[in-house]
Structure 1
Amino acid sequence: MSVRVLPSGERAILVELDDAVTARALAERLRERPDTEDVVPGARTVLVVAADPAALPGLRELVETAGATDPVPLPTEEVVVEVDYDGEDLAEVADLTGLSPEEVVRRHSAARYRVEFVGFAPGFAYLTGLDPVLHLPRLSTPRPSVPAGSVAIAGPYAAVYPRSSPGGWRLLGRTSATLFDVAADPPTRLAAGTEVRFVPR
């Protein structure tokens, strides 16, 4: 396991790791410590915010020597998301992949997904497991506003937009499910490691 630690302000460090699994494992361990104020895993990074600047040297030493590849229990909940497959980009995705729109829907909903990490915006979960035939690049020009609940794909990932925001992912459909609520505890149903299944409605 390779680890690179970079300073990130007066109270934080950014830890660069080999992959998302390692990052998630390290983040779970750091969250249990009283000397961390916030821990944010990414695709191959973990941002660690110390509760006090004096704690940074100890945290840095810990992450450089931690056995972050040890198994970490994953969430056992499967989140089922009902989808109306009527997205703006469904026909174009079908054209680009050489599939019918019905086959795009079948392949998208047949896959079993897992939340790899959460990023871009609060509650925006990157889901792995997308059928390789549906791996397409983002739009060349992002939309200024994508409605909350939009079910989308980009590259090897699938996602559900948790709130209205700009975005360049290809829209396959929409869901009325509430997957992110700042007033809830926890605010997101799609934590790293959660399994997700899409069901046509």
Structure 2
Amino acid sequence: MEVEPLGEGLLVLRFGSGIDPAVNARVHAAADVLGQHALRGVDDLVPAYASLGIRYRAEAWLTTDRPPWQALAAAVQALLDGTAAAAAPAPRTVEIPVCYAAAHAPDLAVVAAQAGLPASEVIARHCAPLYRVAMLGFAPGFPYLIGLDPALHTPRRADPRTQVPAGAVAIGGGQTGIYPRALPGGWQIIGRTPQVLFDPGRQPASLLQAGDGVRFRPIDAAAFEQALPT
């Protein structure tokens, strides 16, 4: 693990690079440990694919012999070393209903052609895994999900859309994700969920949290319309 200060209030722990489920699992295991022990002055933990950001108040770690970030880094390292063998808690699993009907899946045929599979098999394979929310990013509540069947890996669109509808379920390279609101985007849209991914008036605002497990469940167009929020 590498430790790097970014400014006066952010410490970054780096566990590797790239998109690697094993490395991401280490990130979430560290976040679980630090979250349970509530180090003084720490306001937030921000997991990413291969790193963990620790937002903290420098005044809580003032010492006479070293900068605050080094004092915090030493405490973090000691805590992680002392609990390395502890089993991580089982992640929460959230089921997300998805309508894969043509009206909500403009790029399903593209993904099917890329994979050399019928659309029905693409849907079945997309719903089969238990995904993990590797991180939230791009927009509030947007989950980057690890676990996509390699056969469904599809390049992003050459011409990104200026607006993707809220709830669009899409594939970008080796990842799948869900657009939390209407946004520009270049991922291949293969379905849409009626669930609200992000609501600032809700607590927590984001339906999914980093580290959660996610399963997709196919629904038809009628069920989609019935489940839309009023």
State the TM-score, normalizing by the size of structure 1.
Answer: 0.88
Q: Secondary structure at the match of 1:95?
A: helix
Aligned pairs for 1:58-77 (under 5 A) are 58-65=71-78, 66-67=80-81, 69=84, 70-76=86-92
Structure 2 spans left out of the alignment, 5+ residues: 17-22, 62-68, 220-230
State the match for 1:134 in structure 2: 152
Q: Is the 8 A contact 2:131 2:213 kept in 1?
A: yes
The answer on 1:117 being equivalent to 2:135 is yes
Aligned pairs for 1:172-191 (under 5 A) are 172-191=190-209
Q: Supply the distance in 1 between the matched residues of 2:165 and 2:211 (Cα, whole angstroms).
A: 25
The answer on 1:21 being equivalent to 2:25 is yes
Q: Is the 8 A contact 1:20 1:44 kept in 2?
A: yes
Q: What residue identity is the alignment partner of 2:199?
A: D
Q: Is the 8 A contact 2:169 2:178 kept in 1?
A: yes
Aligned mate of 2:126, from 105, 108, 116: 108
Give the ranges of 4+ consecutive aligned residues of structure 1 lying more than 4 Å apart after TM superposition. Answer: none
State the match for 1:5 in structure 2: 3
Q: Which has the higher contact order (CA 8 A, sep 6+)?
A: 1
Q: Secondary structure at the match of 2:3?
A: strand
The answer on 1:82 being equivalent to 2:88 is no
Q: Supply the distance in 1 between the matched residues of 2:13 and 2:137 (Cα, whole angstroms).
A: 16
1:54 shift after superposition? 4.7
Structure 1 spans left out of the alignment, 5+ residues: none
State the match for 2:49 in structure 1: 43
1:163 shift after superposition? 1.6
Q: Is the 8 A contact 2:156 2:188 kept in 1?
A: yes
Q: Is the 8 A contact 1:145 1:167 kept in 2?
A: yes
Q: Supply the distance in 2 between the matched residues of 1:192 and 1:17 (Cα, whole angstroms).
A: 16
State the TM-score, normalizing by the size of structure 2.
Answer: 0.78
In structure 2, relative to structure 1, the CA distance for the partners of 1:117 and 1:148 (3 Å cut) is same
Q: Supply the distance in 2 between the matched residues of 1:47 and 1:7 (Cα, whole angstroms).
A: 10
State the match for 2:175 in structure 1: 157
Q: What residue identity is the alignment partner of 1:15?
A: L
> RMSD of the TM alignment (CA)?
1.9
Moved more, 101-110 or 87-96: 101-110
Identical counterparts, % of pairs: 40
